[in-house]
Amino acid sequence: MLAYTAKRLLTLIPTLLAASILVFLFVHLIPGDPAAILLGDTATPEEVAQLSAEMGFDRPLYVQYFIWLGNVLQGDLGTSIFFRQPVLSVIGSGAETSILLASMTMIWIILIGLPIGILSATKQGTWIDQITSSGAMLAASIPTFWLGLYLIMIFSVTLGWFPSSGFPSLSDHGGITNLRYLLLPSLTLAAPNAALIVRLVRASMLDVSREDHVRTARAKGLHPTRVAIKHIFRNALIAVAAAFGFTFAALISEAVVTETVFSLPGIGRLVVQSILRRDYPVIQGVILVIVVLYMVVNLAVDLAYARLDPRVSLK
Amino acid sequence: MKLKIWMKSALAVGALMTLTSGAYADGMLRYATVGEPPSLDQQVVTSDLATTIAHHMFEGLYTFNASNAPVPLLASGETVSADGKTIVIALREGVKFHNGQAMTSADVLASLQRWGEFGSRGSLIFDHVDSVEASGDYEITINLKEPFGPWKNLMAFINGGPAIYPASVMEGATKEPISPDQYIGTGPYKFNEWEANRYVELVRFDGYISPEGAADGYGGERATNFDTLRFIPVSDVGTRVAGVRAGDYDYAESIPGDLFADLDADTGVKTMLNGGPIFGLVFLNSSDGPLKENFALRRAIQTAIDKTPALQVAIGPEGLWRANGSFAPEGSVWATKAGTENYSRGDAEAAKAMAAEAGYDGQPIKFMVSTNYPFHYDSAIVYTKQLAQAGFNIDLQVYDWATLIEKRAQPDQWDLFFTHHGFVPDPILISVMNDNYPGWWATPEKKALKDRFTASSDPSERQKIWAELQALIYEQVPTMKTGDVYTYNIASPKLKGLGKQTLIWPSFWNVSK
């Protein structure tokens, strides 16, 4: 497994290089000049050109790319044009929120999605199955911005139980109790994702339940719960594991709507705002980090397959 | 037994988790902003959001009172020579920077020099300046090439204006905004922290020496009742409103017009109308394309447009807008009706005839607008329809703001573009008065009037010349004013000392909760 992991990690290098070229070109070829945004509406074209040159954007694109790449190889993602802070520090600040939000959401998904999915599969065709399946469809269909705003109206404005928005760092005033800021956003994000997991667990378990080894287990007289959990659910987990991995990665990089509604300083909102501001170093840095994240998740899912299914060999 | 322990633990965690942000002491003001400022360097950045934050940290020699008249801030007074060409400004003694250093004329000189060379609005005054010198430890002398009437208004306008920094910060400073570690001013609050995407935080400056006299606009006494001012980016307006209602924010800015009636009737929030309206502007290209030097065709376009429907659609409640053709709002000393009979005719037939007479043959007219500002886009949709009814072939090009500001710098890329302008206390600060602003209006008639306008120091004479300039704008149509928009903010009813409305930017000295 170690050799396999090392080999997979090595394949990251050409992929990252290709991604870096694509990201750099994409970012620099869209119209818009960060100098113009910095200086505002009253700046003249001459003033914008002067500042643009001071920031090095008048150099040929390939020169800018190699300077940036050279710095990245030394672990320096550059300095944010907008925040005047190292890109790593800007991403780090967003990553704290995104990782905590994604983790809390995953907890909800596991707590809600797995039991209901198992229940739905084991009670296939009954009224319980119909209610859980309909509930999952409803949860998957609700737009997150709508659900988020309603949760704010009920639990923040009316009941005053939870903060409406924002997320102070865990190192800020409040410490660990600042996690309460993420309760409503994580529930908002969990609703559609848990619904998908319910559907997936149900479908996978029904597939597995028709296999020979399950029939054998039942024929041996094993308790139905033991059959459901040990023989069906464990095998169904192979498909679910991949979904968990990519859901986690997506929760970190694509939670922009929820982050906007709850005003969370996460990665998704950071990348959108940075595109609007043409903060090239931050856009490049964040996208590179997201690419790495997806590749690592992909690898982790493959390793998990081997763990869950002894028939899978890693070569 | 175990179950009991689990239940107790769960209750304890639940209690902790449901503690709302009331945990923040009353010493912190939490202000929900629409976004984050590009920088807080007041000399080179003209973002209103930047000024909203930064004018608590940085001060200029002058500021504005509630009547928008310039009054001393870091200056204690001035004398102007009889010929109007020599201005001697006395500085307040005992003023300290946030780093503890005393402010002297050396700091003021360095700040004015950097502003004059690189400041956003510095050239407006420094084009008329022969020299600036520190004529004493607490005295600055400005020698002008010719009398320049609006000098004090320009000095008092902190947005893109002459904020005073220590000379050490100004050393080597250029057009590039200074970095946060150099945010050292003389204001009542000092810079503490900028957490990207989270907040900008200022804390009380204990060494602050307030100007004397009763508070009047931005002038007079500045009492610091809050320990901390925290400016939090909250881009979604629904979240800003809910945040103030829930008590998570004390103040939230830029609330849309369609929520005004509900919020004004809500006792849980206080609506704060901004006293200085913003106004939309549609610029016409004076440098390239079919509108270049074709004043008759521009007047035809102006004639086709009725501004009221666009304001109704884009802004909403009538209390929040005025179909006002004067470039200065009602009540301002600069308000004038000169030329405004052509402000909003909305006469498609007359426009069609005027366009034909001007030689218009149906070629496309490129109209750029951005969706970043909904009121720009909504207004542009109405104008496009009106112009089409008058026979104009409008090619509406919709961009994000960053793309629009890059394209508008290229004269061959556009014929019309939509923007807006903040309230300014002197018409010389309106962008159309700047010959280099995209649109590039620099006709001999403008130059002659502008020279007379800036050379005069007599208020009534300047008002008369401004009326002539406004009439010229309606005649040559370098830009079309769309109307006054009174934006508003909302505040927690707990805040005391806010007054009935904000001036140009909200300020939180003399405010408490």
Q: Which residues of A touch B21 (CB under 8 A)?
A: 163, 166
Give the nearest partner residue to B402 out of A161, A169, A278, using CB atoms: A278
Tell me what the mean pLDDT of segment B394-416 comes to: 90
Q: Please indicate whether, in this complex, the C-beta atoms of B246 and A262 are within 8 angstroms of each other.
A: no
Residue entry with tokens 């079309």: B480
C-alpha span between B396 and B412 (Å, rounded): 15
Task: Indicate whether A8 pLDDT > 50.
Answer: yes
pLDDT of the residue at B165: 98
Closest C-alpha to A151, from A107, A177, A185, A108: A185
Q: Is residue B489 helix, strand or coil? A: strand
Rounded to two decimals, the pTM is: 0.84
pLDDT tens digit string along B448-486? 999 999 888 888 999 999 999 999 999 999 999 999 999
Under DSSP, the state recorded for A94 is H
% residues pLDDT > 90 (chain B): 73
Q: Please indicate whether, in this complex, the C-beta atoms of B242 and A33 are within 8 angstroms of each other.
A: no
Q: Evaluate the CA torsion angle B41, B42, B48, B50 in order and state its sign.
A: positive
Confidence of residue A312 (pLDDT cuts 50, 70, 90): low
CB A14 within 8 A of CB A55: no
Widest CA span in chain A: 84
Task: Indicate whether B23 pLDDT > 50.
Answer: no
Which CATH architecture fits A95-308?
Answer: Orthogonal Bundle (1.10)
H-only helix segments in B63-149 = 105-118, 122-126
Task: Indicate whether B24 pLDDT > 70.
Answer: no
pLDDT of the residue at A225: 85
User: So where are chain A's domains?
Assistant: 2-73, 95-308
Give the nearest partner residue to B45 out of A40, A83, A173, using CB atoms: A40
C-alpha span between B172 and A109 (Å, rounded): 55
Tell me what the mean pLDDT of segment B303-321 comes to: 94
How many residue pairs bridge chain A and chain B with CB atoms within 8 Å of each other?
Answer: 184
C-alpha span between B200 and B502 (Å, rounded): 21
Q: Which residues of A touch B263 (CB under 8 A)?
A: none
pLDDT of the residue at B20: 45
pLDDT of the residue at B437: 86
Q: Write phi, then psi, for B416 (nearest 5 degrees).
A: -135, 145
Q: Please indicate whether, in this complex, the C-beta atoms of B196 and A80 are within 8 angstroms of each other.
A: yes
pLDDT of the residue at B478: 97
pLDDT of the residue at A314: 61
Query: Best interface-test mutation with A: which of B44, B248, B373, B412 has the largest number of A CBs within 10 A?
Result: B248
Distance to chain A for B505, nearest Cα, Å: 17
Tell me what the mean pLDDT of segment B313-325 comes to: 92
Task: Indicate whether B492 pLDDT > 70.
Answer: yes
Tell me what the mean pLDDT of segment A60-83 comes to: 89
Give the nearest partner residue to A83 out of B175, B194, B248, using CB atoms: B194
pLDDT of the residue at B64: 92
Tell me what the mean pLDDT of segment B347-375 comes to: 94
From residue A180, how far is each of A170, B90, B426 by CA, in Å?
Answer: 11, 54, 49
Tell me what the mean pLDDT of segment B146-167 comes to: 93
pLDDT tens digit string along B169-198? 999 998 888 999 999 999 999 999 998 889
Confidence of residue B46 (pLDDT cuts 50, 70, 90): confident
pLDDT of the residue at A228: 86
Closest C-alpha to A33, from A16, A10, A50, A11: A50
Distance to chain A for B359, nearest Cα, Å: 31
Closest C-alpha to B218, from B228, B230, B229, B210: B210
Question: Average pLDDT of chain B?
Answer: 91
Tell me what the mean pLDDT of segment B255-272 comes to: 90
C-alpha span between B417 and B368 (Å, rounded): 5
Q: Which residues of A touch B399 (CB under 8 A)?
A: 31
Q: Where are the beta strands (DSSP E) in B337-381?
A: 365-370
Q: How big is the CA angle at A178 (ends A173 and A181), to the nearest 5 degrees?
A: 130
Q: Please indicate whether, in this complex, the C-beta atoms of B406 and A32 are within 8 angstroms of each other.
A: yes
- B421 forms beta bridges with B279
Q: Which residues of B touch A265 (CB under 8 A)?
A: 195-198
Give the nearest partner residue to A263 out of B47, B239, B400, using CB atoms: B239
Query: Best interface-test mutation with A: which of B405, B417, B434 has the largest number of A CBs within 10 A?
Result: B405
Distance to chain B for A81, nearest Cα, Å: 9
Task: Indicate whether B305 pLDDT > 50.
Answer: yes
Give the nearest partner residue to B246 out of A40, A43, A160, using CB atoms: A160
pLDDT tens digit string along A219-251? 888 888 888 888 888 888 887 887 888 888 888
Residue entry with tokens 């769309």: B482
Q: Please indicate whether, in this complex, the C-beta atoms of A90 and B197 are within 8 angstroms of each other.
A: yes
Give the nearest partner residue to B248 out of A41, A153, A164, using CB atoms: A164
Q: Please indicate whether, in this complex, the C-beta atoms of B236 and A263 are within 8 angstroms of each other.
A: yes
pLDDT of the residue at B1: 45
Question: Average pLDDT of chain A?
Answer: 87
Distance to chain A for B402, nearest Cα, Å: 5
pLDDT of the residue at B258: 86
Closest C-alpha to A116, from A187, A190, A194: A194
pLDDT of the residue at B21: 45
Give the nearest partner residue to B198 out of A32, A50, A265, using CB atoms: A265
pLDDT tens digit string along B192-243? 999 888 999 999 999 999 999 999 999 999 999 999 999 999 988 989 999 9
pLDDT of the residue at B319: 87
Return the H-helix or E-strand segment holding B329. none
Distance to chain A for B491, nearest Cα, Å: 15
Query: Best interface-test mutation with B: which of A27, A29, A30, A39 has the largest number of B CBs within 10 A?
Result: A39
Confidence of residue B423 (pLDDT cuts 50, 70, 90): confident
- B438 near A CB under 8 A: yes
Under DSSP, the state recorded for B211 is P
CB A131 within 8 A of CB A138: no
Give the nearest partner residue to B19 out of A40, A90, A180, using CB atoms: A180
Task: Indicate whether B10 pLDDT > 60.
Answer: no
- B46 near A CB under 8 A: yes
pLDDT tens digit string along A152-186? 999 999 999 999 998 888 887 778 888 899 999 99
Contacts of B325 by beta carbon, 8 Å cutoff, 6+ apart: B337, B339, B340, B342, B343, B344, B474, B481
pLDDT of the residue at B107: 97
